Amino acid sequence: MPKSAHLIAGVLAPLCLVTFFLSTILAELLGSHAAVAQLKALIVTPGLWIMIPAIAAAGGRGMFLARSRKGRPVDAKKKRMPFIATNGLLVLVPCAIVLNRWAAAGTFDTTFYIVQTIELIAGATNFVLMGLNVRDGLRMAGRLRTSPPFATRSS
C-alpha cells in the first residue's frame, strides 16, 4: 500500500503541474480574459486541492519508503523535497490565489503578468525537480534501467 500510494501521488503531482502550465500558456495565448479567469478559478479549485495533497503524500510516503534505503538517489530525492514543498507552498499557492482574484475582478495589468511569469517559472522549476524524483524513484523501484557508462559491442 505505501508503495502504490507513493507511485500514484508521485505521478499525480507532476501531472497537475504540467496541466496547469500548458493550460495557462494556451489560455494566455489563445483565450479570452473570461477563459483565463475561468482557468485561474479551476487551478485553485479543484487544482490546488489535488496538487498540494499529492506533493505532501509523495514526500511523506517517500520518506517512509526511504527508511531502510541508503545511497545517492535517496539522498538526492530527500534534498529536492524541501525545495519542491517550499516552492509549492510559498510561491505557487499564493500566486494561484492572487491571480485568480485579479482575473475574477478583470484586472489584467502589468502586475498580473509579472506574477503570472513568476508562477510559470516556479511551476517549471518544480516540474523539473519532480521529474528528477520520478526518474530516481522509477530506477530505485527497478522500473527504469540505469544506462551503462560505456556502450558495449558484442563483436
For position 11 contacting ligand HEM by CB under 6 A, the verdict is yes
Three-class SS of residue 77? Answer: helix
If one counts every other C-beta atom within 10 angstroms of the C-beta of residue 17, the result is 25
Closest alpha carbon to 20 in 4, 43, 37: 43
103 vs 47: CA distance, rounded Å? 16
Question: Which one of residues 22, 46, 69, 124 is an interface residue with ligand HEM (CB under 6 A)?
Answer: 69
3 sits near ligand HEM (criterion: CB under 6 A): yes
Residue number of the CB closest to ligand HEM reads 137
Site for ligand HEM in 73-132 (CB under 6 A): 74, 77-78, 81, 84, 130
Q: How many residues bind ligand HEM (CB under 6 A)?
A: 28
Binding span for ligand HEM by CB under 6 A among 16-24, 44-52, 60-68, 104-112: 60-68
Binding residues for ligand HEM (CB under 6 A): 3, 6-7, 10-11, 13-14, 55, 58-59, 62-63, 65-66, 69, 74, 77-78, 81, 84, 130, 133-134, 137-138, 140-141, 143
